[in-house]
A and B are shown apart, each in its own frame.
Chain A
């Protein structure tokens, strides 16, 4: 890469890179710096005054058991979303891969939900499970199950997980299908010749070959459930009941824009900064590895 042919001059490249750098500076780095700075203060909601409190905001946060619980909620939520989106996707991909004809049609049908925004997905699922008009909750009621995600934290969690995982099934399906189709026929045939039945073949031969894809999807899905499910939670539960679906990202928003506690919100941003940093490092470690692979 270092031996590449390059052009002369320094002002042209600076000019070319300027838009990206300026936007990054103004809308990324400056606000991030501000978040760190603001995390040391308690401002009043109107921005008229602020009191320096050092690490007081962090102390306040970590002494708040709901904030600590929010880490657990986030972890549970991410793991569930990842599992609920990957397992059905893998199953469907394996099925689609068995079909010589028609897998394209199914694929077309299955990628629809990917295009549906998380917030819209939230509205659709809320509609099905609405305690007043929801079809599914009504039929559940007929079966004697009293669905009420407004009061029941477990049901609320289940609903936001399913609504978040729904669109991701498409995404994961596409990657699994591509990976399956890349498995050399000869490997499968060799296993078949050895007399291995389909599921045995799948477990012993195919799944190991899928593991790089699966690991990649694992990371990507966790990142997704951390940062891109805000719309689902906001539309369905707004973090309730009793903050049982308040993930970290939702809490930053809720404390900052609903609670008007800007100091706490900024401190949470700083904590999130570390979380994202960690996730990004993991992500890139993996991608680097894949390049060598």
Chain B
């Protein structure tokens, strides 16, 4: 018996280098587009326009990035970065607050219309922005919210997924805690602040990571409602950097912008890997 198990372990050992080869190969392929974008962001336009472009970084890194950040093509990339940060953080924070409150209401109260509201929130899952694209645009326009942060944020801020996640979590909080705080005469909001919120910390953090990336990577919605370059977010702004046909695209600057656009979410994902994975698994999406 022991021999056989040893044999198995050996077998694992012998294939190990091959496994590493596969993994490295996989990583390289997956990484290649990003590498190429990085290289393109460090060379000059003529080097790119006369194919094949180099595969090793050049010496224009500073020039290209500062050109992108300071002047950009339609608008400085730094402006777009600020817009993206405001949007992503507000969406993440807003979704968490709104969902926490509504989940709290649904779990800890019996009130008229509770079931109705619960189903209403549930049904929003069935209404992604794509199926109501023109009317939602009109609603936002009629509020005068085109080219505004509120227009970017509010229509994306309701989240059934987060609400269900918190509801699911609240249901696991022992009943005794609520009972005790009720006996003590504490108000529901005190219970929320002192017990529920601290207990949800990890969930909130995990969800924040996911929602930040969700907000950062929005494309269609900003594309519709930000017509002023100054309100463009970086992810949708890149497409606007391509000329309308008459000129050659300024690839080094566009690629520098692409790299800048992926840095914040990558930092979040890689830096908070454990929270991120937890958030993914929790939210099932």
- Whether A and B touch (Cβ < 8 Å) is answered with yes
| Chain A interface residues toward B at CB < 8 A | 1, 3-7, 9-10, 12-14, 16-17, 19-21, 23-35, 38, 88, 91-92, 95-96, 98-99, 102, 106-121, 123-125, 127-128, 132-135, 138-139, 166, 169-171, 174-175, 178, 189, 192-193, 198, 216, 220, 227, 230-231, 234-235, 249, 252-253, 256-257, 262, 265-266, 269-270, 272-273, 276-277, 280, 287
The 0/1 profile, CB within 8 Å of A marked 1, for residues 7-42 of chain B is: 010011001100110110011001101101100100
Q: Enumerate 13 A-B pairs (CB-CB under 8 Å) in ascending A order.
A: A28-B124, A28-B132, A112-B30, A112-B270, A115-B266, A124-B34, A127-B37, A127-B251, A133-B49, A171-B280, A174-B280, A257-B134, A269-B131
Contacts of B236 in A (CB 8 A): 119
The one of A14, A16, A25, A124 in contact with B37, judged by C-beta atoms closer than 8 angstroms, is: A124
Instruction: Please name all residues of chain A whose beta carbon is closer than 8 Å to the beta carbon of B97 when the two chains form the complex.
Output: 19
CB neighbours of A134 from chain B (8 A): 51
Report the Cα distance A184→B120, complex, angstroms.
Answer: 41
The answer to whether A4 touches B107 (Cβ under 8 A) is yes
In the complex, A220 Cα to B22 Cα: how many Å?
A: 27
Q: How far is the CA of A4 from the CA of B234 in the complex (A)?
A: 46
Which B residues lie at the A interface, using CB under 8 A? 1, 4-5, 8, 11-12, 15-16, 19-20, 22-23, 26-27, 30-31, 33-34, 36-37, 40, 48-49, 51-53, 55, 97-99, 101-102, 104-114, 117, 120-121, 123-128, 130-136, 138-140, 154-155, 157-158, 163, 171, 175, 178-179, 182, 188-189, 191, 213, 216-217, 219-220, 223-224, 235-236, 238-239, 248, 251, 254-255, 258, 261-262, 265-266, 268-270, 273, 276-277, 280-281, 284-285
B6 → chain A, closest Cβ, in Å? 11
Nearest 9 Cβ contacts at the A-B interface: A34-B135, A117-B217, A31-B135, A13-B109, A115-B265, A13-B105, A231-B219, A31-B132, A16-B105
Task: Give Cα A189 to B255, complex, Å.
Answer: 49
Shortest CB distance B219–A (Å): 4
Instruction: Report the minimal beta-carbon distance from B85 to chain A, rounded to whole angstroms.
Output: 14
Residues of the B chain whose Cβ atoms lie less than 8 Å from the Cβ of A277: 126
11 further contact pairs, Cβ within 8 A, besides A28-B132, A123-B238: A9-B109, A13-B105, A17-B106, A23-B157, A113-B34, A124-B33, A127-B36, A135-B36, A135-B55, A220-B285, A249-B130
CA separation between A169 and B30, bound complex, in Å? 9
Q: Which residue of B lies closest to A163 (CB)?
A: B33
Distance between A153 CB and nearest chain B CB, rounded to angstroms: 21
In whole angstroms, how far apart are the Cα atoms of A257 and B133 in the complex? 9
**Interface class of chain B by DSSP:** helix
- Within 8 Å by CB of B171, from A1, A92, A123, A249, lies A1
Task: Report yes or no: A35 in contact with B131, Cβ–Cβ below 8 A.
Answer: yes
Q: Measured between alpha carbons, how far is A203 from B269 in the docked complex, in Å? A: 32
Task: Select which of A23, A33, A111, A253 is within 8 A of B273 by beta carbon.
Answer: A111
Chain A hits for B99, CB < 8 A: 20
User: Do A230 and B219 have beta carbons less than 8 Å apart?
Assistant: yes
Interface contact B127-A123, CB-CB below 8 Å: no
A169 surroundings in chain B (CB, below 8 A) = 30
- Give min CB distance, B32 to chain A, whole Å: 8
Whether A31 touches B126, Cβ cut-off 8 Å, given contacts A98-B19, A117-B219, A133-B48, is no
Q: Chain A contacts of B269 at CB under 8 A?
A: 111-112, 114-115
The interface residues of chain A lying within 8 Å CB-to-CB of B11 are: 198
Q: Give the CA-CA distance A96 to B277 in the complex, in Å.
A: 16
- Min C-beta distance of A22 to chain B, whole Å: 9
> Cα distance A133–B39 when bound, in Å?
14
Q: Would you call B135 and A266 a contact (CB within 8 A)? A: yes
Q: In the assembled complex, which residues on chain B have CB atoms less than 8 Å from the CB atom of A9?
A: 109, 111, 188
Give Cα A189–Cα B11 distance, bound, in whole angstroms.
12
Tell me, rounded to whole Å, the shortest Cβ–Cβ distance linking B115 to chain A.
12
Complex formed: what's the CA distance from A283 to B51 in Å? 46
Instruction: Give chain A residues whose Cβ lies under 8 Å from the Cβ of B102.
Output: 16-17, 19-21
Assuming A31-B139, A106-B23, is B33 touching A166 (CB within 8 A)? yes
| Alpha-carbon separation in the docked complex, A124 to B231 (Å) | 23
Given contacts A21-B121, A92-B23, A124-B258, contact A112 B266 (CB under 8 A): yes
Rounded to whole angstroms, the CA-CA distance of A71 and B106 in the bound complex is: 39
Could you say which of A16, A24, A175 contacts B104, with CB atoms under 8 Å apart?
A: A16
With A17-B117, A20-B99, A249-B130: A98-B12 Cβ-Cβ less than 8 Å: yes
Is the beta-carbon distance between A24 and B8 smaller than 8 angstroms? no
CB-contact partner of A121 in B33, B130, B216, under 8 A = B33
Report the separation of the CA atoms of residues A161 and B45 in the bound assembly, to the nearest whole angstrom.
28
- Residues of B near A125 (CB, < 8 A) are 33
> In the complex, are the beta carbons of A95 and B26 less than 8 A apart?
yes
- By a CB distance below 8 angstroms, the chain B residues around A99 are 16, 19-20, 23
User: Given the interface contacts A23-B158, A27-B155, A265-B133, does A10 sit within 8 Å of B112 by beta carbon?
Assistant: yes
Cβ contacts under 8 Å, A133 to chain B: 48-49, 51, 53, 251
- Given the contacts A31-B136, A35-B131, A124-B37, A20 and B121 also touching, CB distance less than 8 Å: yes
Contacts known (A28-B124, A116-B266, A231-B220); A20 close to B5, Cβ less than 8 A: no
| A30 to B: closest C-beta gap in Å | 6
